[in-house]
Amino acid sequence: MKQLHEKYGHRLFFMTDSLLNLVITDIADEIIKSGLSIYLDGYFIVDDQSADIENTLRWRQGGFYRARLGVESGSQHVLDMIGKRITPVKTKAALAGLAEAGIKTTTYWVIGHPGETEEDFQQTLELLEEMRNDIWQAECNPFTFYYLGQGKENEWAKLRMSLYPGNANDLLLCQTWVLDCEPSREEIYNRVFRFAQRCQELGIPNPYSLDEIYKADERWKQLHKNAVPSIVDIMNNQYDLQESRKTRKILKLKPKNQEQGDFDF
């Protein structure tokens, strides 16, 4: 990264398709030691260490710019079906810890997993609302079934059916499979629409264009004093190159990695 920065001037590095949990502390420490003003964007799993503000501030000072988290659902029932091994309480704690340090949080959600009920979906919307100020981006995707390659493909085999009628097969280059169970395909997309609508009502972005990203970054700055620089500022070198080292704890967060209920600041 140092060589790429010195040769090309790049400051923001996307660690593609790689979980940062096991290495983020070591990488942050090395970046701090080097004195470089560079930033890391990468995928991250909700865990106990991200609920500790001492950890997240250390990562922030070492250039952790954006954490991409697979939140999936606000329902423990759905998380258990997915085999996610996290809880909504831990998700809240991780989002709070990362956001307090100013690290941008991109959250990914799966809507309509087989067996997801309306109550489960409402719990997702409730989590979204409760943590809206600690979410930089919320992106949802409808559950998609694949004929092969999914953890529960054997369990779902008896439920799979072709989306299109048999007489259309000759017209198709590939086959689309769905599951004959609840929620229905229609209900899944209805919930996706409601999720996106609720995000809009809560002011939670899902930016793609540079203008949308800029606006999302400005919102983040207003919400968090430790907010990382705007991506536009990084591109234009219009920020304090030592700003990450100046990040400080603003308020003391109680440990949130225990299953003790709602937040109590």
37 inside domain: yes
- Cβ atoms of 164 and 83 within 8 Å: the answer is no
- Report residue 246's pLDDT band, with 50, 70 and 90 as the boundaries: confident
Q: Distances in Å between the alpha carbon of 15 and those of 12, 157, 184, 216?
A: 10, 35, 36, 21
Q: Average of pLDDT values for 243-257?
A: 68
* 24-33, 104-113, 232-241: range with lowest mean pLDDT: 232-241
Give CA 124 to chain center in angstroms: 14
pTM, rounded to two decimals: 0.90
Domain span at residue 38 reads 2-144+182-246
263 inside domain: no
* 25-29, 111-115, 238-242: range with lowest mean pLDDT: 238-242
Q: Average of pLDDT values for 86-95?
A: 98
Give the pLDDT of residue 167: 86
175 inside domain: no
193 inside domain: yes
- Which 3 state secondary structure label does DSSP give 156? helix
Residue 131 has pLDDT above 60, yes or no: yes
Output 137 or 171, whichever has higher pLDDT: 137
171 inside domain: no
Q: Distances in Å between the alpha carbon of 112 and those of 109, 214, 245, 247?
A: 10, 31, 42, 39
Q: Average of pLDDT values for 210-224?
A: 97
Give the pLDDT of residue 44: 97
- Please state whether the peptide bond connecting residue 183 to the residue before it is cis, i.e. omega within 30 degrees of 0: yes
Residue 263 has pLDDT above 50, yes or no: no
* Percent over 90 (pLDDT), the chain: 79
Residue 17 has pLDDT above 80, yes or no: no
The one-character DSSP state at 192 is H
Q: Average of pLDDT values for 161-183?
A: 90
Instruction: State the total domains in the chain.
Output: 1
Angle, CA 136 vertex, CA 135 and CA 139 arms, to 5°: 85
Residue 255 has pLDDT above 50, yes or no: no
CATH of the domain at 240: 3.30.750.200
Give the pLDDT of residue 118: 98
252 inside domain: no
11 inside domain: yes
Q: Average of pLDDT values for 84-108?
A: 97
155 inside domain: no
